[in-house]
Chains A and B, each alone.
Chain A
Amino acid sequence: MRDRETLLATLREKAKLSRKETIRLVGIAKSGHYGSVFSAAEIFATLYYHVLRYDARRPDWPDRDRFILSKGHAAVGLYPLLADVGFFDAALLDTYTRLGSPFGDHPDMRKIPGIDFSSGSLGHGLSVGVGMALAARVTGRAYRVYVLLGDGELDEGQVWEAAMSAAHYKLGNLVAIIDRNRVSVDGPTAEVMEIEPLADKWAAFGWRVHEVDGHDLEALLDRFAALPDPASAQPTVLIAHTVAGRPVSFMEHRFEWHLGYLAPEDQARALAELEAEQ
């Protein structure tokens, strides 16, 4: 029980690290995706500090679990955690978006250890995951492939091509996570392009579907712990209900904060709200 509480405290701290560093790094670039990181911070923390099997000293370890950030615009919140778990020196983050830096708004696998695949153009990541999951079958490896998609990204037809093929090939080692923060660039997803009934869609495509509060660390831990064996015959999707911009009061639920910049005074306001959060 104490182990569990220690783990939860660690995950809370790491989700906060992701958000705080996002504020700092976006401050360097003077433009960035706050809202998209803040909805995914608990998912990042749960994956990198508990769920994923990897070795930061051997980023190319063939048996590692793969993680594809299909919503690549949230990479600024992932980089600090990759540094924190040891893929590279955290001091490198200070170069974020500066000329010659490995770190841009979207992640490049050829420049950043720990990035399993480059992303940025929405709709591709689940297909790449299908390929990696098939490769596990061909090579006889037991890893899982996790793909984090945005909900706005589900407008892309290629996602559904990928969903169909994953069920067809019975990829029980493939796990899609939907960051269901209900906003995309132009507004609420319900207004820009309705994607409901979302759970029914995935079920109709042959996936095992679970819904979870994407900020509830205990619920996330339980849901990942209950994943079926990678050798099972059905892919799994976790629809993670999240809040864009959480927990900054003036950003929550606001599509306007999908992309933006906080001047130093407002960075301080946001950081104070993060620190005050329990």
Chain B
Amino acid sequence: MSPNPHSEPALHADTWDLPTSTRLAPYLNWGKVLADLGEENPEIVVLTADLSHANRLTDFARVHPGRFFNFGIGEKNMVSAAAGLAAAGLLPYVATYASFVGLLCAEQIRTDVCYTEMPVRILAHHSGIAMGFYGSSHHATEDLAIMRSFAGLTVFGTVDPFLAEAALKASVNHSGPIYFRLGRGREKPVYDHPPADFAFGRAITVRQGKSGSQDGGGIGGSRLPRRGTGPIGARGRPAHGQADRRGNCAGRGGHRHRAHRGRA
């Protein structure tokens, strides 16, 4: 039997195309976590804007195709539609790059999601400068300031996939909207399992520092705790290279910012 003349040539192991690119981001677990949560929570629906490979929500779409909606490159429509889905009793998780959802859709988030107190969960991934050489159009640093100013919005920055998993699980029973500020899925984990006692707004002690000593995990050996948000938190190093095995500082493993609520 002669080989198919149109078959793909055997490509080198280092070569990648879009569907296989997710192996470059081994910590993209959101689709899998949501797929599992979707088993017991039929109200969960997932929306994305033509980025289901980049955020790997294909893992959800494969298991729950009737509850996955691709909105194409129309982010504003997607966010407002998520508010409509939530108003009809569903629990939408909306995902795209932070640079787009956190800036382009700021008004839709404020008006259709926050003021209406809709339980929409926004997965703003590739946040900060995670996109590197893709350029400033794909960076999102301003989103934190904007989202923190919205009434009733819980803003949560994760450091790694384990914290993201714990937070996503907790989000199912959280009232009100949430803005998850997520990384690119390439950042090395800080934790080795999802923190068991996770709750929004509660700090997690990763490592106990020593009072007054130079390995206290503080800035310049002081007692001040280090703070960082998002994957940059995982880059934190105690002074003088006293990092623990996880390379983490004795700070908070995740941050939740809660804006003032407009009304009870």
A interacts with B: yes
Q: At the interface, yes or no: B50 with Cβ under 8 Å from chain A? A: no
The distance in angstroms between the C-alpha atoms of A124 and B107, with both chains bound, is: 10
Q: Is B69 an interface residue (CB 8 A)?
A: yes
Q: Which of A19-27, A31-39, A135-143 contacts B (4 or more CB under 8 A)?
A: A135-143
The answer for the CA separation of A80 and B149 in the assembled complex, in Å, is 35
Residue A247 CB within 8 A of the other chain: no
Asked if A128 and B112 sit within 8 Å, CB to CB, the answer is: yes
- Interface pick from B18-26, B82-90, B183-191, B237-245: B82-90
A128 and B84 within 8 A (CB): yes
Return chain A residues, CB-CB under 8 Å to B41. none
Nearest-Cβ distance from residue A121 to partner chain B, whole angstroms: 5
Verify A128–B90 contact, CB threshold 8 A.
no
User: Quick one: closest B residue to A127, CB to CB?
Assistant: B80
Q: Which one of B66, B74, B89 contacts A135 once the chains associate, using CB atoms below 8 Å?
A: B89
Contact with B along A153-192 (1 / 0, CB 8 A): 0000110011011001100000000000000000000000
Find chain A residues with CB under 8 A from B87 CB: 109, 116-117, 128, 131-132, 135
A157 to B108, CA, bound (A): 13
Contact of A132 among B66, B88, B116 (CB under 8 A): B88
Contacts of A121 in B (CB 8 A): 107, 111
A-binding residues in B (CB < 8 A): 45, 66-67, 69, 71-72, 74, 76-90, 92, 107-108, 111-112, 115-117
Closest 9 CB pairs of A and B: A131-B84, A127-B80, A135-B88, A161-B77, A131-B81, A161-B74, A128-B84, A131-B85, A132-B84
Q: How many contacts A-B (CB < 8 Å)?
A: 103
Q: Is A62 an interface residue (CB 8 A)?
A: yes
* A132 nearest in chain B by CB position: B84
| 19 A-B pairs (CB sep. < 8 Å) | A108-B115, A110-B116, A117-B87, A117-B116, A118-B112, A118-B115, A124-B80, A124-B108, A127-B112, A128-B83, A130-B77, A130-B81, A131-B88, A132-B87, A134-B69, A135-B84, A138-B90, A139-B89, A165-B77
Residue from A109, A135, A165 within 8 A of B116 (CB atoms): A109
A128 surroundings in chain B (CB, below 8 A): 80-81, 83-84, 87, 112
Q: How far apart are the CA atoms of A138 and B111 in the complex, in Å?
A: 25
User: Nearest Cβ in chain B — how far from A77, in angstroms?
Assistant: 22
The A contact surface, by secondary structure, is helix
Contact present for B80 and A131 (CB under 8 Å)? yes
The smallest beta-carbon distance between B259 and chain A, in angstroms, is 17
Contact of A127 among B81, B116, B117 (CB under 8 A): B81
Does chain B have a CB within 8 A of A245? no
Task: Find out whether the CB atom of A132 lies under 8 angstroms from the CB atom of B108.
Answer: no
A129 within 8 A of B: yes
Verify B84–A117 contact, CB threshold 8 A: yes
Which chain A residues lie closer than 8 Å to B71 at the CB level?
161, 165
CA distance A157 to B75 in the complex (A): 12
- Does any Cβ of B come within 8 Å of A120's Cβ? yes
- Docked CA distance A62–B89 (Å): 8
- Cα-based distance from A53 to B66 in the complex (angstroms): 26
Contacts of A117 in B (CB 8 A): 83-84, 87, 112, 116
Q: Which residues of A contact B78 (CB under 8 A)?
A: 127
Partner of B88, one of A110, A127, A139, A164: A139
Q: Which listed residue (A124, A133, A136, A164) contacts B72, Cβ 8 A?
A: A164
A66 to B83 CA separation, bound complex (whole angstroms): 14
Contact A134/B81 with A117-B87, A117-B116, A164-B74 known, Cβ cut-off 8 Å: yes
Residues of A within 8 A of B80 (CB): 124, 127-128, 130-131, 158, 162
A162 touches B77 (CB 8 A): yes
Q: How far, in angstroms, from A18 to B90 measured CA to CA in the complex?
A: 34
A135 lies within 8 A of B85 (CB):
yes
User: Can you add 8 more A-B contacts, CB < 8 Å, to A66-B88, A131-B82?
Assistant: A110-B117, A127-B80, A127-B112, A128-B112, A132-B84, A134-B81, A157-B76, A168-B72
